[in-house]
Structure 1
Amino acid sequence: MVDLATVRIFEGENADMNESEQDEKIGNEYLYRALRLTVECQDEYCKIKPGHGTGFIVRSHADGRPAGEHFLVTNRHVVDRTYSRSGRTPWGSSTLVSIRIDGYFQRPRYPNDLPERTSLTMSNPSPVYPTNEDLDVAVIALPSSSDEGKPPERIFNSFPIMKLQSADEIMNGQIQVGSSLLMPGYPELAELEVSDRPVLVGGWIASDPRYSASIMGVERPRRVLGHSFSRAGMSGAPALGLLPAEIDWMGDPQGARVTLLGINTGHVHLSNEPSVISEFVPAPAILSTIAKAGDAFARSRVESALRRSAMEDVEVQDLWLPEPLSE
């Protein structure tokens, strides 16, 4: 249940315009697409325990236009305190009580406008998780309509679902080791104080993105490594990449495009101190979880990707394929 009955997620001016024409570089709007999450869970002793993380909103399509459902995306371990990857024993019990979303709205194409602070509280939300428990992803559907006479709107910047990275640019080498990796998020600072505004952490892809990562002799299923600092509070941050500029059929240069590579799941523990090696779950896991949450457009994209994979000769590893959907 959402405390405020209606929410309008900003869909961009001229929302039916080709997104690649609008989003050619990282800027203020991309920074503010990261949202600060304050999560309250009740443990087996009925104690409320707060926690923090980062999230972002993905908007789907309806009838071929970018005006469909909206979904909050974060890590499963942010909203499910008992979460453990497959093969491990879950610990304790926990019930998700509420999620408070705090952020800033930056008008697209007006980067010099000052952002507006905005927030929303959801009570007793119902996250949807991937079938594969190795995928540290959680998706929560948000209401997105707003009519006159309803409660005040809450406005957030969001990612169009078409920004979710598919296998195409991975297999043709446009995204590879050394490609840029950028993550906006809300890190915890000294004494567990959470950053008031998002910060953008930069780095590059550190493992071959065509395969599940392996480090120190341990395979990390369906995850890619990045040389990009992550710490508490950054869990659930969007992992962004830059596709190189291309030349169109008329010979005109097209600017570099931003792509949503996946979702940050935290830093890799190489010692007792936070490392500069982070990891992210690739975007197809987000797409299939949105489809599992009931979105028809996401389902069609999943089915199309699986059909193409079955028909083409190019081998695509599982981490860049969405999960098959049950009927």
Structure 2
Amino acid sequence: MRSYLTRANDMLTGLARTYSARTAPQAQPTINRGSNQAVTGRPSQTQGTQASQTQTPPQRAAPLFTRDTFTPAESPSTGSTPRIWRDPVSPSRTYNSQDGVPLFNQGDPAWGTRRLGGTGPAERGSDIPSIGTHGCAITSVAMALSQLSGRTITPQQMDEYLDNNKGYSGNSVFFPKTTGILGGSPEITANRLDNLTIAQIDRELDEKRPVAIGVRYGGTQGRSLSGTPDHWITLTGKNEDGTYRANDPNGGVPITLRREGTNGLMMAPREGRHRNRSYHFRNHGVTFTPPPVAPARGSDQDGFVDRAVSRQARPTIRAQPPQTP
């Protein structure tokens, strides 16, 4: 066997050419480029004087910069953020909303014990009506007028206004008086109806105007669902499946009603003070009408036309008889 003593300046490739030997490709080291990626080389194997190579497909390097996985992706927008209403007397008190209509609870501690149609508190368990026990109607109207006016009108403020402006008749609310709390800005009329139809309700809701409706309690055998309402709620919108969204003063919660018969609405019983009692709408309600839109002015009513100009001075275009060929 022939031997050779290597020198300091010998190159492996030069020796291979001199002695007709073959070399295997050199293994490339792993290069770290931070925690986001690693580029790996191809390993080599050598057996005896012959170098055999096992190749693996090259791995695609990860991008040098990737999205910060600690930052959550933004959620898709689901529409406008529900408005939060703030109490004008106690700004720290806020109220959630549905369709822009505040959710007021008639039994809220801020006004629940306030006496209706008088002054002073109504003790719990007494026969004196309070907002908490009998204030569903004024609470429903307060919710609707808050949305229509754009400013918070709480049940307490509504009761104070009606007390001072003869808004009660015995134990009944005189609904046309309720809109006076707005002071004419905006000018809105409350219309108490006992023949309110579903078609009318749909038109009001299409115009983004809430509707206060009276409901009768069901769940008692033999009890008629027609007659004077037992409770009042505020309709705020209509769903694609034909059901209706409403704010219930009994707890200040959103509820859903469905069609019942030809011209009625109903809600199944729910937990709460009116447990086992369903709600049934039978055409009693209050709509809120904005001021009529002034008719469009044209011809002689157009304010930009000089009224001093006589009709004789205006050009006249007369119809021409048809021409015969």
In the superposition, the TM-score normalised over structure 1's length comes to: 0.20
Structure with the bigger RCO (C-alpha within 8 Å, sep 6+) is: 1
Structure possessing the higher radius of gyration over alpha carbons: 2
In the superposition, the TM-score normalised over structure 2's length comes to: 0.20
